[in-house]
Amino acid sequence: MPDTPRSARELVVSVHQLISLPDIYLRVQALLNDPDSSLTEVAGVIAHDPGITTRLLRLVNSAHFGFRSKIDTVSRAVSILGLQQIHDIVLATSVIQTFAGMDNRVMSMDVYWRKSVYCGVVAHLLAIPCHVLDRERLFVAGLLRDLGHLVMYQRIPSLAQQALTLARERPAELHEVERELLGFDYAEVGGELMRDWGLPPSLVEPVTFHTDLSRAGGFPLETAIVHIAGRCAETSGGPPAGDGPDCGIAPRAWEATGLSAEALEGVLLEAGQRLNGIVELLLPHGASSG
């Protein structure tokens, strides 16, 4: 195979054996795909993994969910949250675990995950004014928005760094430079990896198309939300100056969501207040370094 992959798909295939989700997630996913499985079976699988269990219970008892009474067992968490939200929480923690050993000399995993969690929190909060009921899925889609760069920095670090340098020098959009240099961008790579993992289209599409909203056919609102959250994450959480072209958010995203710059500023203020707590809940000590 040539040193430089010719497509996002070829890149993902080249790392297929190196990047796989942990067994705990695969077992949960299999149960959720089995119409004869029960909540008790799902809870039983999760309860056998102390790390997942601890993070799940800490998360559901946090301000992120806002339940009034304490949830002290996995079975109760599963029954209250439902299978889809449990799937998404296990997925989020599993992806973090999958990349836990990535070399910090390639990229700062602390910075990467903090930015990704921020993106997820913003997407989760934006779901409220956008009237999206499935807010937890938006959190996961935001968290995984930049997944493709983890693959690129493992497989083609020099080219990924070259694209980043060029984008800063011009200046230009990073995904546009990547397409020019490689023929594909990080969003496509992330989407291909997620398809490889068998994740649902409601997660795959917002990640794949948040850099090209015109291609979001099945989940345009969710994709627009992830696009906005991603732009905010890339500007270190600073609120856009307005809804003009200088803020970096595509006009199509404003139109799809119906959001105003003022509403977004309020969301970003709350996201900033929540960020540290969610980072502590999701990222166990040492998860960001090998």
Spatial contact of 86 and 71, defined as CB atoms under 8 Å apart: no
Angstrom distances, CA of residue 192 to CA of 10, 12, 111, 205, 253: 9, 7, 24, 10, 23
What is the fold of 102-285?
A: Hypothetical protein af1432 (1.10.3210)
- Sign of the C-alpha dihedral, residues 204, 206, 208, 214? positive
- Here the tokens at position 56 are 């799940």
Q: What pLDDT shows up at residue 237?
A: 47
Q: What pLDDT shows up at residue 205?
A: 97
- Here the tokens at position 105 are 């000399």
Q: Count Cβ atoms below 10 Å from residue 10 Cβ, excluding itself.
A: 15
Long-range contacts of 32-37 (CB under 8 A, 24+ apart): 32/83, 32/87
pLDDT per residue rounded down to tens, the chain (290 residues): 346 888 999 999 988 777 888 898 999 999 988 989 888 999 999 999 888 898 889 888 988 888 888 999 999 999 888 888 889 989 998 898 888 777 777 678 888 999 999 999 999 999 999 999 888 899 999 999 999 999 999 889 999 999 999 999 998 899 999 999 999 999 999 999 999 999 999 999 999 999 999 999 899 999 999 999 999 998 864 444 444 434 689 999 999 999 998 999 999 999 999 999 888 888 755 444 44
In angstroms, rounded to a whole number, what is the distance separating the alpha carbons of residues 64 and 137? 13
In angstroms, rounded to a whole number, what is the distance separating the alpha carbons of residues 7 and 11? 6
Q: What pLDDT shows up at residue 285?
A: 54
Instruction: State pTM to two decimals.
Output: 0.89
Q: What pLDDT shows up at residue 67?
A: 85
Spatial contact of 187 and 89, defined as CB atoms under 8 Å apart: no
Q: What pLDDT shows up at residue 284?
A: 59
Helices and strands per DSSP (H, E), number in the chain: 16, 0
Q: What pLDDT shows up at residue 287?
A: 46
- Here the tokens at position 228 are 């906005």
Burial class from Cβ neighbours inside 10 Å (0-12, 13-18, 19+) for residue 134 reads middle
Q: What pLDDT shows up at residue 106?
A: 67
Domain spans in the chain, listed from the N-terminal domain onward: 20-98, 102-285
Q: Which DSSP string corresponds to 232-260?
A: HHHTTTPPPS-SSGGG---HHHHHHH---
Residue type, 224: A
- Here the tokens at position 25 are 């997630």
Angstrom distances, CA of residue 279 to CA of 110, 115, 249, 274: 10, 10, 25, 9
- 């050993």: which residue's tokens? 101
In angstroms, rounded to a whole number, what is the distance separating the alpha carbons of residues 36 and 21? 24
In angstroms, rounded to a whole number, what is the distance separating the alpha carbons of residues 254 and 265? 14
